[in-house]
């Protein structure tokens, strides 16, 4: 899991103009991006028939246009429109194509951008407008309505409940779960002068920062995609920020990292670094495709962490962190944390047991119940 931190720590300048490379065969249609469509081959049976009826080149071109318009993709993927969300959709597409040759055909996979409420409203904290579920609501609706076939999510954005008629049977291999420290002037949180402002919209990060570094200040409504937040940092709105290392790696933007926080310094969000893919409960074809991509070790770890979160009834107003992983003995080791929003109180616990679904879910729930009991009423300031 460890990255060569020494090389990353030398990167003290933020490269803000970098954008992810555009996918091949992509086009934009208003708010919809269609990826993977190209002009069908004229040798297809329907075009051959059409060509025999019309001898002119213009007539053949018209038939091509009609076939392209009416052609149906085998899989329609729904995702948010941020560069990171698109990178995760492209990763999903690539893995599907690697497993299923029929999906390498032009037009077999269609990626559609769905703008969510969470993307539209950036001026207010997530907790004030409905929480993280606002990043998945519209995508879930498109899935239920049959507008898309599968939905690709960052698992840490997915509420602990799933909408009716949907199932989330697949997690891709998990990326590095740690947080990255981004700063133009310091190599770590410990190096920041007293009074420095760290930008983050995460109460989990805020509480852990203030608990360990009470001399620092936190700008809470530091929202936007990775590029937006890096731009705000360069513009001097804050002195530093923290971002999920997984997202930076998926965007090929690790040159922005000044240092990587250890799990002891910053326990990650539940399901951080994991991609989840949902489909409809009655869609056996999509379920079969997703089964071929599922990474079971990741799925079980995420299930353990989400059981912990669900037990705590966690929301965007609740500083919660949790991480489950397989240890050297092949067992599950889980760590969980809750904190007061101001970071003055932090409660932690851990569990160890068999790396089996039922046992891991039980561990997560048991850890959550322990911390609820220890925290007592009013701990979270709600």
Q: Regarding beta strands 275-280 and 32-35, do their DSSP bridges make them parallel or antiparallel, or are they unpaired?
A: unpaired
What are the tens digits of pLDDT across the range 206-253?
A: 999 999 999 999 998 887 889 999 999 999 999 999 999 999 999 999
Would residue 4 count as lying in a domain? no
The CATH code of the domain that includes 302 is 3.30.160.40
Round to whole Å and give the CA distance between 159 and 137: 10
Residue ending a domain, among 260, 286, 312, is 260
Q: Specify the number of domains making up the chain.
A: 3
Would residue 56 count as lying in a domain? no
- List the catalytic residue out of 119, 140, 149, 157: 157
What are the tens digits of pLDDT across the range 313-372?
A: 854 468 999 999 999 999 999 999 999 989 999 999 999 999 999 999 999 999 999 999
Residue by residue, DSSP assigns 125-145 as -HHHHT-GGGGTHHHHHHHHT
Residue 155 and residue 81 share a domain? yes
Catalytic site includes residue 176: no
Would residue 244 count as lying in a domain? yes
At residue 376, the pLDDT reads 84
Would residue 86 count as lying in a domain? yes
Round to whole Å and give the CA distance between 50 and 59: 8
Round to whole Å and give the CA distance between 41 and 219: 54
Query: Which is it for the CA torsion 255, 261, 266, 272, positive or negative?
Result: positive
Residue 82 and residue 231 share a domain? no
Would residue 155 count as lying in a domain? yes
Residue 205 and residue 190 share a domain? yes
- Structural domain for 78, as ranges: 71-173+274-294
Residue 348 and residue 282 share a domain? no
Residue 196 and residue 246 share a domain? yes
The answer to whether the pTM exceeds 0.75 is yes
Would residue 285 count as lying in a domain? yes
Residue 147 and residue 117 share a domain? yes
Residue 98 and residue 164 share a domain? yes
């Amino acid at each position: 899991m460890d990255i060569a931190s020494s090389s990353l720590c030398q990167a003290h300048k933020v490269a803000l103009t970098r954008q992810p490379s555009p996918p091949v065969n992509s086009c934009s249609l208003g708010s919809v991006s269609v990826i993977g469509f190209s002009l069908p081959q004229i040798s297809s049976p329907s075009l051959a028939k059409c060509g025999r009826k019309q001898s002119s080149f213009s007539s053949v071109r018209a038939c091509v246009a009609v076939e392209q318009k009416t052609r149906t993709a085998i899989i329609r993927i729904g995702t948010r429109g941020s560069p990171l969300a698109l990178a995760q959709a492209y990763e999903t597409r690539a893995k599907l194509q690697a497993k299923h040759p029929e999906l390498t055909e032009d037009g077999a996979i269609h990626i559609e951008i769905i703008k969510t409420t969470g993307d539209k409203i950036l001026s207010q904290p997530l907790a004030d407008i409905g929480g993280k579920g606002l990043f998945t609501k519209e995508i879930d609706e498109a899935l239920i309505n049959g507008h898309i076939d599968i939905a690709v999510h960052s698992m840490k954005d997915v509420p602990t409940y799933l909408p009716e008629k949907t199932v989330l049977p697949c997690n891709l291999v998990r990326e590095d779960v740690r947080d990255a420290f981004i700063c133009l002037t310091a190599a770590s949180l410990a190096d920041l002068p007293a009074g420095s402002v760290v930008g983050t919209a995460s109460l989990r990060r805020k509480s852990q920062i203030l608990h360990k570094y009470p001399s620092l200040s936190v700008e809470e409504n530091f929202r936007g995609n990775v590029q937006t937040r890096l731009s705000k940092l360069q513009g001097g709105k804050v002195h530093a920020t923290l971002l999920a290392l997984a997202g930076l790696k998926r965007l090929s933007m690790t040159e922005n990292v000044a240092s990587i926080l250890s799990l002891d310094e910053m326990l990650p969000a539940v399901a951080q670094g994991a991609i989840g893919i949902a489909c409809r409960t009655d869609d056996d074809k999509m379920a079969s495709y997703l089964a071929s991509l599922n990474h079971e070790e990741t799925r079980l770890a995420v299930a353990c962490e989400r059981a912990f979160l669900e037990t705590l009834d966690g929301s965007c107003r609740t500083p919660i962190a949790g991480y489950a992983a397989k240890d050297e003995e092949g067992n599950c080791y889980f760590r969980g944390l809750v904190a007061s929003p101001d970071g003055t109180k932090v409660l932690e616990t851990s569990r160890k047991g068999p790396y089996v679904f039922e046992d891991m879910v039980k561990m997560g729930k048991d850890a959550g119940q322990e911390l609820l009991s220890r925290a007592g009423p009013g701990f979270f300031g709600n």
